[in-house]
Amino acid sequence: MSPAGARGRLDVNIKQKSFRAASGGKLHVLGELVFSLRSGELAALVGPSGCGKTTLLRIVAGLDRDFDGHVAIPAHGTLAMVFQEPRLLPWRTVEQNVRLAAPRASDAGLEMLFQTLGLEAHRDHYPGELSLGLARRVALARAFAVKPDLLLLDEPFVSLDDALAARLREELAELVNRRPVTTLLVTHNVEEAIGLADRLLLLSIGPARIVADVAVARPRAAHTPAELAALRHEIARRLNQPFSRENL
Ligand SMILES: Nc1ncnc2c1ncn2[C@@H]1O[C@H](COP(=O)(O)OP(=O)(O)OP(=O)(O)O)[C@@H](O)[C@H]1O
Ligand SMILES: [Mg+2]
């Protein structure tokens, strides 16, 4: 990883990534993965469970440097990541968790975030007192408080009930509309991907490759049932197809 990219731009050029298996063998998790995001662009990574999505995000975040290839993150290199599980510090309150991650955040900025995410009443609560949905909101607040140039979201709404997930999606959409940020969002939920993303990057089973790069005409806007059905059909078709260059 290097912060050498143009302002706001993400360039991913991974040749391959393997893990050493406990048995001594090699597990080839990522194949060749090459894509770029423009400044402020939000791409959803959609792919089967275990295909390497979290591995890819960890590489982009610089948490895993043991891969062949190169990743250039946006010029100023401030990034925030929301993990599959909220990962809050249990001995710190909600507000302290957010302030520790973003010491330069203004009181007004935090106020706005807590309001948008419905966390005002929970500022002084400890993570052990929060439901999973609330903890996920805190993880989102912490990520946005940093004002990142690059936002990495790993299934941020998984295992929430449909209504809450829908509300949090709207809140995320509001946050990125207010302050566009180059974002990679991992999701299994096609509606979520279509509703939030400018682009869908569809991944194959491991070793993961991009089988299709689908533009979403009107992200973060209501799609008609017919448009949704057409996109769903397109995604199903692409994910069932073996990788080929023509699909890119
Ligand atoms: N540290 C590790 N050591 C060995 N193998 C690993 C390690 N981390 C992940 N793997 C393996 O790499 C593959 C990809 O894992 P990864 O967590 O990236 O998948 P994923 O697409 O995020 O899955 P999910 O959708 O279930 O979250 C899996 O087979 C996993 O078992
Ligand atoms: Mg994962």
CATH class of 10-78+148-247: alpha beta
pLDDT digits (tens, 9 = 90+) for 154-163: 999 887 788 8
Ligand 2 center–CA 58 separation, angstroms: 10
**Residue 234: half-sphere exposure toward Cβ, Cα within 13 Å:** 19
Centre of ligand 1 from the C-alpha of residue 54, in Å: 7
Compute the distance between CA of residue 98 and CA of residue 81 in angstroms, rounded to an integer.
13
Residue 120: pLDDT over 90: yes
Phi and psi at 148, nearest 5°, equal: -70, 155
Ligand 2 ion: Cβ-proximal residues, 5 Å cutoff: 53-54
- Find the 61 Cα to ligand 2 centroid distance in Å: 14
Ligand 1 nearest-atom number relative to CA 55? 18
Say if residues 76 and 3 touch (Cβ distance below 8 Å): yes
Asked whether residue 243 carries a pLDDT value surpassing 50, the answer given is no
The C-alpha atoms of residue 33 and residue 174 are separated, in whole angstroms, by 30
Helix intervals (H) in the chain:
53-60, 94-101, 107-116, 132-145, 162-178, 190-196, 225-240
Nearest to 195 by CA among 44, 48, 39: 44
Q: Is 27 in the pocket of ligand 1 (CB under 6 A)?
A: yes
- Decide whether any atom of ligand 1 lies within 6 Å of the 136 Cβ: no
Ligand nearest to the CA of 49: 1
Looking at residue 159, what DSSP letter applies?
T
Domain limits, the chain? 10-78+148-247, 88-147
Q: Whose CA is nearest to atom 1 of ligand 1?
A: 19
Structure-token match 């662009």, residue found = 41
> Which ligand number lies closest to the CA of residue 48?
1
54 lines ligand 1 (CB under 6 A): yes
Q: From the CA of 97, how far away is ligand 1's center (Å)?
A: 27
Q: How far is the CA of 220 from the centre of ligand 1 (A)?
A: 29
Q: Which residue has the higher pLDDT, 191 or 72?
A: 72
Whether 52 lines ligand 1, by a CB cut-off of 6 Å, is yes
**pLDDT at residue 222, as a whole number:** 76
Q: Which amino acid is at 119?
A: L
Other Cβ atoms within 10 Å of 117 Cβ, number: 23
**Phi, psi values for residue 21, rounded to 5°:** -75, 155
Q: State the closest ligand 1 atom to the C-alpha of 203, by its place in the atom list counted from 1.
A: 21
Tens-place pLDDT, residues 125-150: 999 999 988 999 999 999 999 989 99
Sign of CA dihedral 7, 10, 13, 18: positive
- Write out pLDDT tens, residues 227-242: 888 888 888 887 775 5
